[in-house]
Amino acid sequence: MNVDAALAPRRAAGALFSYGFRPFFLSAALWAVVTVVAWSGVMAGHWALPPGVDPFAWHVREMIFGYTGAVLAGFLLTAVPSWTDRAPVAGWPLAGLWVLWVLGRVAGLMPAMLGDLTVAVVDCVFLIALAAVAWREVAAAGNRRNLPICALITLFAMANAIAHVERLAIGIGDLGPRLGIAVLALLIALIGGRIVPNFTRNVLTRRGSQNLPAAFGRFDAVTLGVTVVALALWVVRPDGAVTGATLVLAGVANAARLARWRGVRVVAAPLLIVLHIGFLWLAVGLALMGLARLVPGGLPLNTLHALTAGAIGTMTLAVMTRACLGHTGRPLVAGPGTTLIYGLVIVGAALRVAAPLLPVGYATALALASAVWAGAFVAFVLVYGPMLFRGRVDAAAGP
């Protein structure tokens, strides 16, 4: 008997649940493909979702709270040990959190069997547990700097609960999803505002450049404040001139903030420039959503998807790929597969936003945009999936 072959499944399982990014990033990518393909097929009339599942509500919930919930879990459970200098959540506790996420996805497809209330409870447990873990780890380390992130994760869990309450009470509602998207946009503004200039500064410093990204200052703080106000207005009063003007102001301010981070100097570094592009999508998305409320009749664009497919899609994949490389002991270099991932998600998002303007039927445009965007996640699974089942290539460095 080949002992190595017999132990291989155990080793793979051990590696998979050794760090939060491994099971959650892989699951997030797979679920993004499933959700987009299922939604596209329903829209095209090729198949139907299980009985009792509202296709639109399911698509919205699973992309916002299912896919992005998994990405947040992978990011937090990997970043928190660095923030707190505490051991990572691993092994059975990590597997338990992952099972909670899986149960939420399965329950969402079985309302006819379980009932809407049971579906809501099962789905809400995961994000509540994730928020509790984040608070516990950050508070135990006395790491006050990251308490706002814990608060936003809690607000995200509340948004998911609100979405379910709306559905139970009135059949459907969009306050919960709007709040969820707003929280994700704020996380990009906050966390992206840390990592994009810091990673760029590190690379430019190694090159000996003196033209470095601007340090966080008053302008950044004011921009974050304006962004909070704009998104809060959009959540509670999605339409109106005041909301539109504030969203445009937030978009312009974030674009100006991004311009101070010297992105043009790292265009040739895909792992870096994709972070700048992801943040640019945030600025563009906010501005387009604002203009749509100021222009009579709105803009002939899917403006919200500049935030969702564009900013959230691009930034999450940028973080997922970088974390996978760094935490599996591989060089922080984007190979052809990684570059393809970035190209597909950016082009797919652009097609989704511009779908009403494309010289093909709208249904064809949506199918094309969905295929290209989902293709980025297929590529992620193919390129990064194998390494997530294996230990670090520099095994001496730990899991």
| pLDDT score of 13 | 54
What confidence category does residue 142 fall into, taking pLDDT thresholds of 50, 70 and 90?
Answer: confident
17 DSSP assignment: T
Among residues 162, 151, 215, 13, the alpha carbon closest in space to that of 95 is found at 13
What is the per-residue pLDDT across 189-224, written as a single tens digit (0 to 9) for each?
999 999 999 999 999 999 998 899 999 999 999 999
pLDDT of 285 = 98
Relative orientation angle of helices 270-294 and 241-259, to the nearest 10 degrees: 160
Given a cut of 60, whether residue 10 has pLDDT beyond it is no
Sequence length of the chain is: 399
Side-chain half-sphere of 244: how many Cα atoms within 13 Å?
13
Q: Which contiguous run of DSSP H or E holds residue 185?
A: helix 175-187
Structure tokens of 175? 């306050």
Give the model confidence (pLDDT) of 167-178 as tens digits: 888 766 799 999
- The Cα 38–Cα 144 span in angstroms is 42
DSSP string, 249-305: HHHHHHHHHHHTT-GGGGTT-HHHHHHHHHHHHHHHHHHHHHHHHHSTT--SS-THH
For the chain, what is the mean pLDDT?
A: 92
Angle CA 196–199–203, to nearest 5 = 135
SS3 24: helix
Whether the predicted pLDDT of 397 surpasses 50: no
What share of the chain in percent tops pLDDT 70? 95
Condensed to tens digits (0 to 9), the pLDDT of residues 73-124 reads 999 999 999 888 899 999 999 999 999 999 999 999 999 999 999 999 999 9
In the structure, what pLDDT confidence band is assigned to residue 6 with cuts at 50, 70 and 90? Answer: very low
- The torsion angle over the Cα atoms of residues 394, 80, 104 and 326, rounded to 10 degrees, is -30
Residue 296: per-residue pLDDT: 84
Q: What is the mean pLDDT of residues 324-347?
A: 96
Coil/strand/helix, residue 363: helix
- Band (pLDDT 50/70/90 cuts) for residue 371 is very high
| pLDDT tens-digit map of 262-301 | 999 999 999 999 999 999 999 999 999 999 999 988 899 9
pLDDT, one tens digit per residue, over 231-273 is 999 999 999 999 999 999 999 999 999 999 999 999 999 999 9
Do 232 and 278 form a contact (C-beta atoms < 8 A)? no
Find out whether 248 and 257 touch, Cβ atoms under 8 Å: no
**b vs e for 37-50, b when ≥16 Cβ sit within 10 Å of the residue's Cβ?**
ebbbbbeeeeeebe
Distance CA 96, CA 87 (A): 17
Percent of residues, the chain, with pLDDT higher than 90: 85
| Residue 145: per-residue pLDDT | 87
Q: Is the pTM of this model over 0.85?
A: yes
- DSSP category for residue 395: G
pLDDT of 21 > 50? The answer is: yes
